[in-house]
Amino acid sequence: MNDPRRSLPPVDQILADPVLAQPLADLGGKFVKARVRAVLEARRNLPEAGAGELASEVAADVAAHLPAAPTTLRPVINATGVIVHTNLGRAPLSAAARAAILQAAAATDVELDLRTGRRAPRGQGAIAALAAAVDVDGVAAHVVNNGAAALVLACWVLAPGGNVLLSRGEMVEIGDGFRIPELLAEAGVQIREVGTTNRTTLADYQRAVDSSTGFALKIHPSNFTVEGFTSGVGIGELSTHLPVPVVADIGSGLLAPHPRLPSEPSAQAALRGGADLVIASGDKLLGGPQAGLLWGAPNLIEALRRHPLARALRVDKLTLAALEATLLGPPPPVAEALTRTRAELRSRAEAITADLGTRAAAADTAAIDTAVIDTEGAVGGGGAPGVSIPSAALTLPANLAAPLRTGHPAVVGQVRGGALRIDLLAVSPDDDAALTGAIASALTAEGE
Ligand SMILES: *Cc1c(COP(=O)(O)O)cnc(C)c1O
């Protein structure tokens, strides 16, 4: 009889509360019910669990924390100082790309020519924009699910049952235990390892090539650097001296060289340098949706597109819409982040600090333990390793990390040297107000 669980109100009674009527209509019964269960579960685990809880109280709690859409994926402010954060979904999309997704989410002419009423090539506007984006004559493009899928498709088309030349210095693990050599092996090609970890020469490639070599693969070691006694062979040299096509996996998807990232390869430079096929991800430095981008001569691109398994790697209309808007619309957040200066980031951090101080004074609470510091940000997401980007952060007590992560919106910073850093490099100035509000709420919650 004393089991506190007994005093928790039943789910149906909570769902019947008027505050949940509109959320039930907007978000659906399954979703809201799951949230009610989660809130009940959380309350059950409190020491004073649920004594005398009222259905209306729990309903109000649920209603206060419902998201705008019935998904458990939550919006996060990326205050890590890492521009392309893999665990936060890599590149955030531009407002234009988000609008394009919404527009394409309805019925759309992704495979129909509205003038003739006949079937049209899928996503031809996006594909044309992608081909044009590199500004190299005679180049066509194709899009698949991600960079890994693009590599697999290249193997299927250019080296079926054959071998691929790859320098031992480029045998890369992408992340989360996925290794490029294993990916290639599963795609049915043999890897002919060339050279050594630190040095590979043209002669190494020339000795390794034989009649069953499908292509030479250049992989940009996008998440590490090798220093010291090193040498590699450039795309130009390979394409001039080898009798097989050269495929360049540049990783991050820069279209053209970026002044701030001088060692980061671009699709344009790789194509102009003589690569027959260039592969990149859409959601790294390009700043677009998850996608595998391929550029090459029209006949090769057509062969990729017509491969029977190409269908298994096909992207959906939402990806095509977001990709086209990223390429043709205003600069995406990743590009914007790369233009920020430390001075600008410092002054934003100082403004946020001042705002927090004003709020604390108005609420008559203790002054906040905070400071503005210089930091070194990074591109991240497997791009520009070793490049640090001058940035600035405000520091907060480390015990705020958890309440900020679970707040609305969630804020993810970085705990370093016993303090929480809220780095502004990857935060849009449009989010400064929401960020300040989230910090103020976390401070209030901690103070209680
Ligand atoms: C990121 C990366 C990949 C994998 O691309 P995904 O889009 O994550 O599948 C492949 N090669 C290189 C060099 C990369 O940096």
pLDDT at 323: 98
3-state secondary structure of 260: coil
**Residue 147 near ligand 1, beta carbon < 6 Å:** yes
CA of 138 to the centre of ligand 1 (A): 25
pLDDT at 87: 95
CA of 119 to the centre of ligand 1 (A): 33
Tell me the best of 178, 186, 249, 252 to mutate to test the pocket of ligand 1, counting ligand atoms within 8 Å of each CB and taking the most. 249
Tell me the best of 222, 254, 277, 290 to mutate to test the pocket of ligand 1, counting ligand atoms within 8 Å of each CB and taking the most. 222
pLDDT at 128: 98
CA of 74 to the centre of ligand 1 (A): 25
Sign of the dihedral defined by the CA atoms of residues 168, 174, 175, 179, in that order: negative
pLDDT at 5: 53
How large is the angle between the packed helices 298-306 and 147-158, nearest 10 degrees? 100
CA of 252 to the centre of ligand 1 (A): 7
CA of 379 to the centre of ligand 1 (A): 14
Instruction: Give alpha helix (H) positions in 179-279.
Output: 180-186, 202-208, 235-241, 267-272
Q: How far apart are the C-alpha atoms of 220 and 216, rounded to whole Å?
A: 13
3-state secondary structure of 427: coil
pLDDT at 348: 98
Is 44:7 a contact under the CB 8 Å cutoff?
Answer: no
**Residue 220 near ligand 1, beta carbon < 6 Å:** yes
End-to-end Cα spacing for the chain: 32
pLDDT at 381: 76
**Residue 375 near ligand 1, beta carbon < 6 Å:** no
List the residue whose alpha carbon is closest to atom 4 of ligand 1.
147
The residue type at 261:
L
pLDDT at 175: 75
pLDDT at 48: 61
Q: How far apart are the C-alpha atoms of 256 and 253, rounded to whole Å?
A: 9
**Residue 145 near ligand 1, beta carbon < 6 Å:** no
Q: Tens-of-pLDDT digits for all 448 residues of the chain?
A: 455 555 788 999 999 999 999 999 999 999 999 999 999 998 887 766 555 578 999 999 999 989 999 999 999 999 999 999 999 999 999 999 999 999 999 999 999 999 999 999 999 999 999 999 999 999 999 999 999 999 999 999 999 999 999 999 998 887 777 888 899 999 999 999 999 888 899 999 999 999 999 999 999 876 777 777 777 889 999 999 999 999 999 998 899 999 999 889 999 999 999 999 999 999 999 999 999 999 999 999 999 999 999 999 999 999 999 999 999 999 999 999 999 999 999 999 999 999 999 998 888 887 788 999 999 999 987 677 778 999 999 999 999 999 999 998 999 999 999 999 999 999 999 999 999 999 999 998 876 6
Is 35:43 a contact under the CB 8 Å cutoff?
Answer: no
Q: Are strands 140-144 and 190-194 parallel, antiparallel or unpaired?
A: unpaired
What is the total residue count of the chain?
Answer: 448
Q: What is the three-state SS of 29-97? A: HHHHHHHHHHHHHHHHCCCCCCCCCCHHHHHHHHHHCCCCCCCCCCCEEECCCECCEHHHCECCCCHHH
Beta-carbon contacts of residue 52 (< 8 Å; ≥ 6 apart): 7
List the residue whose alpha carbon is closest to atom 15 of ligand 1.
251
- Which burial class, exposed, middle or buried, applies to 95 when counting CB atoms under 10 A from its CB (0-12, 13-18, 19+)? middle
List the residue whose alpha carbon is closest to atom 13 of ligand 1.
251
CA of 305 to the centre of ligand 1 (A): 20
Q: How far apart are the C-alpha atoms of 298 and 429, rounded to whole Å?
A: 42
pLDDT at 233: 87
Atom nearest to 381 CA in ligand 1: 1
